[in-house]
Amino acid sequence: MKALHWFSAMAACAALAGCSGGADYSGNPGGDVDTARISAAGKTPGDWLSYGGGYEEQRFSKLAQITPENVGKLGVAWSYDLKTSHGVEATPIVVDGVMYVTGAWSIVSALDAKTGKELWVYDPQVPKETLAKGCCDAVNRGVAVYEGKVFVGTYDGRLVALNSKDGSVIWEKVTVDQSKPYTITGAPRAFKDKVIIGNGGSELGVRGYVTAYNTNTGEEEWRFYFTPNPKKKPDGAASDSALAKFANASWGDSGAWTTQGGGATAWDSMIYDEVNDQVIVGTGNSSPWNGKIRDPEGNGDNLFVSSVLALDADSGEYKWHFQETPRDILDYTAVQTLILADLPVGAEGKSKRVIMHAPKNGFFYVLDAATGKFVSGKAYSAQTWATGLDANGRPIENPAMRQFDKKPFLAVPAPAGAHNWNPMGFSPKTGLAYIPANNMAQMVQERPGGIKETLKWNVGYDMAGGLPPAYPAGALPGIRASVKGELIAWDPVTHKPRWKREYPTPFNGGVLTTETNLLFQGDTMGTFRAFNAADGSELWSMNLKSGIQAAPITYEIDGEQYVAIATGWGTSWALNWGFAWDKAAAPDIGRVYVFKLGANGKIVDPMQYVIVEEPKTKSFGTPAQIAAGFQNYSENCMVCHGPLAISSGVTPDLRWSGVSADKDSWNQVVREGILAGNGMVSFKGQLTPEEAESIRAYVLDQGWMAVRNGDVRKASK
């Protein structure tokens, strides 16, 4: 097996100048991690070999030292500072005693998994201006390790192969058109000497695809586009025949999709199914969200948005597709965790290899992995957009959903989704899938005057829709109360919840289950818990004093079992929904915490920070100016500085910023872009001086309103 790998690598390299594939990385950590080893990951539970634990991505471990009886003795073995202050979404990988984990800005750290000692750090030097190219913070979900190399996708669209021993770059490829608003936040997956990566950007206008590269040389092996070529011509890619056969006719010939790409970006789950030798990929929402702007002539399903597709692992050729949200208009991505398992859902209760999926749209799907055929499905969350699924798994829509131009539509699930990227897990012991779910609603309404090309989100709806125009006395607790999180233990055979737990905020962490029926999960308030996976009872908890959204892992070294979790405040939740702030943990740099039985290490106190103060100057502005400021703010600034100008702590709170107090400083930051190198890009092309000033009037007014309403907390730590 090994020899064959090297032989093919050398042969490929002989034809390529400057190819480094001939070098031998087999003595590196993870030097023998190949397709066979990842396929057998369940048999070597001491390591955590890929993003979801193994190719089936169940996030279930056979390790059994930590049990419901002794879990109370878990303590901190070590912690490590990721040194970045944006969100942390990574699942670490552990192999041969080394942990590979990513922080914000796609920075990779290699650590001694027993002690936390830093072995090396690789910083891809992502330009901070690219913050404005993504919807949801400069996050990264992790790396892939294969034959002694570590692969990371960078926020600015590169795929980099690193030497797992020292972090030096072996090869690097730009995988996107960097003039467009593409980003990479997802973890690559590796199999059969290939590494695959997708991209994101559907909120800003791009065309989604996934690409496979040769792990040794970085050469492109195949690419599959998920929306038609804008001229409906072949791209010379693996997707050509499938787009011609299924997708082209499902779009009209005009509209924003022809210039902006249509979306369907594969930014999270993409798994290798070794039984069927195929890659299964979930695709993102359509772009822009407003279907009347996106595809005004057409009335088709807009394939392959919001779909699950299987592609041949070697050629990338189409095998099957299943669309979950036809002609999506609500940002219902289908990129969420794909899990492979054998379930008793065949004829007469026979076991069948299936895919389990709980995408944003609120339905739980079980699909036949070999054919993509719908096996069964049911709603796992409240819904206003559909009343159920038909016999083929197609949603039965509520017609009011598409009439948002006549009457604003209250969308449940909200575009943030009943389940977002926070990894779901499946325990073959309990037979349950565990969904970190969200309860949110959002008003969807037409933007007066049609679409506006904003620098940031460009979705074709009124971004201020449903928000109160001014900071209202007493209303915030109500807004906050209407959003919640849940952990749902879902029976995928009967399609019923076995048990549920509620959280005061959405976007809580991903899950891990173990052989001893433990379930680990953290929440955005910073508490990390162990539950009994069978009944949901709580067995252990610890306050890590920093928000948790990523998923834990477990591994074993020298006979001791460890549990690890990456923490950090940020991600789409903190960036885009700042008013959840006071229920969440303090903003802080990212950290990795690792636990074992009997350890008693310390939890690090968060950095000192200022919560809220009084605005630094008087308010000004006529009611009309403030109203215009509300619209301009909501369209241009809200997605980073928070709705109603309430910051979550990832970006400065503009209501009491010294910059807001001074017209010239404001202009320098907002229009001249003097902080662009820190992620605050120039809005010169989007905002006139008057418009920029209207925003200043609005944020100061919001600040004074907060003072009048007594919702001001002083500096604290």
What residue ranges bind ligand HEC (CB under 6 A)? Answer: 131-132, 456, 636-637, 639-641, 651-652, 654, 657-660, 666, 669-670, 675, 678-680, 683, 687, 695
The number of beta carbons lying within 10 Å of the beta carbon of residue 297 is: 10
Selection from 510, 434, 641 nearest residue 141 by Cα: 510
Output 217 or 634, the one with its CB closest to ligand HEC.
Answer: 634
Residue 559 Cβ vs ligand HEC, minimum distance, rounded to whole Å:
45
Q: Do the Cβ atoms of 522 and 528 come closer than 8 Å?
A: yes
Q: Do the Cβ atoms of 562 and 45 come closer than 8 Å?
A: no
Give the amino acid at 248: N
Residue 205 Cβ vs ligand HEC, minimum distance, rounded to whole Å:
15
Q: How far is CA 16 from the centre of its chain?
A: 36
Q: What does the alpha-carbon distance between residue 615 and residue 112 come to, in Å, rounded to a whole number? A: 46
Output 238 or 654, the one with its CB closest to ligand HEC.
Answer: 654
The number of beta carbons lying within 10 Å of the beta carbon of residue 131 is: 24
Residue 684 Cβ vs ligand HEC, minimum distance, rounded to whole Å:
10
> Which one is catalytic: 193, 273, 331, 653?
331
Give the amino acid at 310: A
Q: How many residues comprise the chain? A: 717
Output 242 or 575, the one with its CB closest to ligand HEC.
Answer: 575
Q: What does the alpha-carbon distance between residue 587 and residue 275 come to, in Å, rounded to a whole number? A: 44
Q: Can 331 be counted among the known catalytic residues?
A: yes
Selection from 259, 424, 431 nearest residue 342 by Cα: 431
Output 133 or 194, the one with its CB closest to ligand HEC.
Answer: 133
Give the amino acid at 436: P
Residue 654 Cβ vs ligand HEC, minimum distance, rounded to whole Å:
5
Output 527 or 686, the one with its CB closest to ligand HEC.
Answer: 686
Q: What does the alpha-carbon distance between residue 201 and residue 26 come to, in Å, rounded to a whole number? A: 36
Both tokens of 65, joined, read 């030292």
Output 388 or 658, the one with its CB closest to ligand HEC.
Answer: 658
Q: Do the Cβ atoms of 396 and 379 come closer than 8 Å?
A: no
Selection from 80, 104, 72, 457 nearest residue 260 by Cα: 457
Residue 695 Cβ vs ligand HEC, minimum distance, rounded to whole Å:
5
Output 503 or 579, the one with its CB closest to ligand HEC.
Answer: 579
Q: Do the Cβ atoms of 457 and 634 come closer than 8 Å?
A: no
Question: How far from 90 is each of 111, 164, 246, CA to CA, in Å?
Answer: 14, 17, 35
Residue 676 Cβ vs ligand HEC, minimum distance, rounded to whole Å:
9
Residue 204 Cβ vs ligand HEC, minimum distance, rounded to whole Å:
11
Residue whose entry in the numeric block shows the structure tokens 């575009």:
415
Question: How far from 237 is each of 130, 159, 194, CA to CA, in Å?
Answer: 28, 19, 17
The number of beta carbons lying within 10 Å of the beta carbon of residue 385 is: 22
Q: What does the alpha-carbon distance between residue 546 and residue 564 come to, in Å, rounded to a whole number? A: 14
Residue whose entry in the numeric block shows the structure tokens 């000192």:
608
Residue 703 Cβ vs ligand HEC, minimum distance, rounded to whole Å:
12
Q: Do the Cβ atoms of 458 and 205 come closer than 8 Å?
A: yes
Output 77 or 204, the one with its CB closest to ligand HEC.
Answer: 204
Residue 283 Cβ vs ligand HEC, minimum distance, rounded to whole Å:
24
Q: What does the alpha-carbon distance between residue 84 and residue 586 come to, in Å, rounded to a whole number? A: 14
The number of beta carbons lying within 10 Å of the beta carbon of residue 74 is: 24
Q: What does the alpha-carbon distance between residue 261 and residue 475 come to, in Å, rounded to a whole number? A: 39
Q: What does the alpha-carbon distance between residue 516 and residue 61 come to, in Å, rounded to a whole number? A: 9
Both tokens of 411, joined, read 């969308």
Q: Do the Cβ atoms of 426 and 514 come closer than 8 Å?
A: no
Residue 229 Cβ vs ligand HEC, minimum distance, rounded to whole Å:
30
Residue whose entry in the numeric block shows the structure tokens 């007014």:
701
Residue 122 Cβ vs ligand HEC, minimum distance, rounded to whole Å:
23
Output 105 or 363, the one with its CB closest to ligand HEC.
Answer: 105
Q: Do the Cβ atoms of 272 and 55 come closer than 8 Å?
A: yes
Both tokens of 474, joined, read 């007493």
Output 29 or 415, the one with its CB closest to ligand HEC.
Answer: 415
Q: What does the alpha-carbon distance between residue 574 and residue 704 come to, in Å, rounded to a whole number? A: 23
Output 321 or 456, the one with its CB closest to ligand HEC.
Answer: 456
Residue 659 Cβ vs ligand HEC, minimum distance, rounded to whole Å:
4
Selection from 306, 307, 418, 298 nearest residue 358 by Cα: 418
Give the amino acid at 591: R
Q: Do the Cβ atoms of 227 and 207 come closer than 8 Å?
A: yes
Selection from 432, 279, 421, 420 nearest residue 341 by Cα: 432
Output 114 or 641, the one with its CB closest to ligand HEC.
Answer: 641
Residues marked as catalytic: 331
